[in-house]
Structure 1
Amino acid sequence: MIKESKNTGMTTNTSMNINACERPENRTTVAPDPNEKDWMRRVALLLAGQAFSLLGSSIVQYAIWWWIALEWKTGWAMLLATLFGVMPQGVVSIFGGSMADRYNRKTLIMLPDLIIAAVTIALSVSFAVGWANLTVIFVVLFIRSSGGGVQMPAVQSFIPDVTPSDKLLRVNSVYGVINSANMIVAPAIAAVLVNLIPLWAILLVDVTTAVIGVGFVALIRVPEKARKQAVSDRSKESVGSRTFAVSIRGTLVDLRDGFVYAMGHPYLRGVILGDALVCFMAVAPMNLTLLLMTREYEGIDLNLGFVNLTTASDKLAANELGLSFGMLLGGALMSVFGAKLLRSSRAQMRMAAFGIAMVGVTVVGLGVAPNLLAYLVADLLTGVAAAACVGPMRTIMQSESDELMTGRVFGLDTTFATFAMPLGMLVFAPLADVIPISWVFIAGGLLTLPAAWYVGMLSRRETRPAA
């Protein structure tokens, strides 16, 4: 539901020995020694860098999407924004996972941020001089999304490189809390900035935070492991001698191997397909919450005591904040109690299934909410439910996959989920223009429940297939 990945060149022998690699006694890991004092510093630098990067990106994303929603107010406009803003990440992540396994992951985290900052400056200039239009915005969304297809697999693959294996669930939960905190701060800042300064100035916030984020990640020094260095050297040597066509064929082979590997593992198959189904059935309709807010609650004020929601930007910000506060709360609960209660992969699978079911129920709640206050409560609970399944899903993919396959697994997950959401939008967005939009949320939520049943059934299987 919320995506990422990695990848390293594999020889033919690796694909022939997948079952052997899957066994715990044969699995080699390059995770840092839990007793190593510097691992916390490396994790802190990585998470701090991502926090700044995500903050700026979120502020700009909210500002752009609100501009589209308020200017056009149609399902088709949101559909096109989703296709240009999400589909490229799905395509690029097909290769992004393989790149994360083959090349320097730290570089793959920093470089997209710098490129995205450059195109954001160009968009800012176009708004300042009056050249901006939907076409220009869609081009920038395309490039930003493409950068995410490279960066997100690299981030998720880099986390196990700097984190002891027994701390992965905690670090993933903290990462989820940081994401949620950014989503809380970002819409609040965006709502203030939209009423104070022009959009071209808001866009420059992303440039500043990207530079800061890249600086933090650049400070990370990961000790080279002998086997990892050998893999790196082999990859560099092969890259220098291969043509572009051969490189593409090698990537496709990596994808095939990753697909076979993941689909042969019941838990990996469960979280990847479960994630994709949720993105198709539930996340796609949730991308229409901006339309739901502007259509159903236009002209309706809500005084919460500490704040009075009157303007369109106030309500759009409240919509984002409700979901983000829920994800923050859910992530915090998973961080505190998850490591103690979800020690086995089977328990993590069951929690993922429960979280998916709750997402379905709460999305239905968004559609049947009788008033704005009830809607915001359902919105908050949706965030809690999402956090309850995202952390366990990431941990399963990191802990259950061999180190040489982790990138391919995350790349596959990112690809499936990223394609599923715009495909869902192709179904739900046009419907939102011909039927009551609340019905779209009810249908999406109900259709999510079978995905929870599927993941729950797989949790009864053995962790690893028999040899």
Structure 2
Amino acid sequence: MSLSTLLSPVLGGIILANFNLYWALMVDVFTAAIELLCMTKIKLQAVKAKAEAVAESAKVTEEELLSGFKYIFKNDSLRYLFYIYAAGFLLMTPVNVLSLLFVQRHFGASVVNLTLQEIAWAAGSVIAGLLVAKHKEFKNNATVLGLGVGTFAAVMVVTALSPTIWFYLAMMFLLGVASPYYYTNQAVIIQTESAPEFMGRTFAAFQMIGNIMLLIGSLGLGPLADVFPMVWLFISCGVLLLLISIWYIFKTKTV
């Protein structure tokens, strides 16, 4: 994911510079065909579900999703993860959605500035992703996740105070470094804490709440960026997220 984030602006620029929009959009068609071919090669083992799970799987989709949420809140590890996951998607909105606007207002909306920001974040994610892959597993995934979120939050606060574009890019690189420690461990916790028959619904519930919180954050914090200085949006969200990460680390130590 990080590597594609790094390369996609470059490849997109090359395509748009040499071809028209029609062929740029056709890239989606070609890559979708490749994805579907890859899916045909994936073999999944059948899960022997319990009788209760089989009965639940026969219900309508809405009830399946609700059963996923109920399952999450009955498990302490998944419930705490759900809280920090929802808070993360909401409070990371200034960086995830408004960062380009921040660059435009503070350093100028030049193509170089906007492109370097994407490259800095992606480069940090690629390097950290390789480190996570090399490490293979952590003794306490919850603690590493909390530290990843806390680091992200602290760097987010410092990012708001960036005096130059180069300092800002360095902070974006560090934000990219923190991201894999958050997202990778989140997936590992779900895989290790969820029963096989509930894993799909658990992932679906997390995906749903992530999208909802990102939407709420965009609709709420986006307009606020025209009313309040963006520096304070970054700082306030960063401080709140840092406090939540500390809370998460202490709560999961007792699970």
Per the TM superposition, whether the score is higher than 0.5 is yes
Unmatched 5+ residue regions in structure 2?
Answer: none
Partner of 2:5: 183
How far does the alpha carbon of each residue in 1:216-244 deviate from its partner, in whole angstroms, 9 at most, with x for none? 2212234x54736x9999899x5xxxxxx
Partner of 1:192: 14
Distance 1:226 1:218 in 2: 19
Partner of 1:318: 116
Q: 1:194 to 1:444 in 2, by over 3 A?
A: farther
Residue number among 190, 207, 211 corresponding to 1:418 in the alignment: 211
Offset at residue 416 of structure 1 (A):
1.4
Partner of 1:436: 229
Distance 1:287 1:226 in 2: 38
Q: Secondary structure at the match of 1:459?
A: helix
Residue number among 197, 201, 213 corresponding to 1:408 in the alignment: 201
Partner of 1:445: 238
Please give the residue correspondences for 1:19-418 in structure 2 after superposition, counting only pairs within 5 Å: 179-222=1-44, 224-225=45-46, 227=48, 250-298=60-108, 312-339=110-137, 342-343=138-139, 347-418=140-211
Q: 1:234 to 1:415 in 2, by over 3 A?
A: closer
CA contact (8 A) 1:355 1:389 kept: yes
- Normalised to the residue count of structure 2, the TM-score between the two structures is 0.90
Q: 1:193 to 1:266 in 2, by over 3 A?
A: same
How far does the alpha carbon of each residue in 1:82-128 deviate from its partner, in whole angstroms, 9 at most, with x for none? xxxxxxxxxxxxxxxxxxxxxxxxxxxxxxxxxxxxxxxxxxxxxxx
Offset at residue 200 of structure 1 (A):
3.3
Corresponding letter in the other structure for 2:89: C
Distance 1:316 1:194 in 2: 17
CA contact (8 A) 2:89 2:210 kept: yes
Q: Secondary structure at the match of 1:221?
A: coil
Offset at residue 213 of structure 1 (A):
1.5
Q: 1:408 to 1:284 in 2, by over 3 A?
A: farther
How far does the alpha carbon of each residue in 1:40-80 deviate from its partner, in whole angstroms, 9 at most, with x for none? xxxxxxxxxxxxxxxxxxxxxxxxxxxxxxxxxxxxxxxxx
Q: How many residues align?
A: 254
How far does the alpha carbon of each residue in 1:182-217 deviate from its partner, in whole angstroms, 9 at most, with x for none? 111112222333444443332221111111121122
Q: Secondary structure at the match of 1:227?
A: coil
Q: Secondary structure at the match of 1:369?
A: coil
Percent of residue pairs bearing the same amino acid type? 23
Q: Secondary structure at the match of 2:227?
A: coil
Q: 1:359 to 1:187 in 2, by over 3 A?
A: same
Q: 1:294 to 1:391 in 2, by over 3 A?
A: same
Unmatched 5+ residue regions in structure 1?
Answer: 1-178, 239-246, 300-311, 463-467
CA contact (8 A) 1:284 1:421 kept: no
Q: 1:404 to 1:232 in 2, by over 3 A?
A: closer
Q: Secondary structure at the match of 1:255?
A: helix
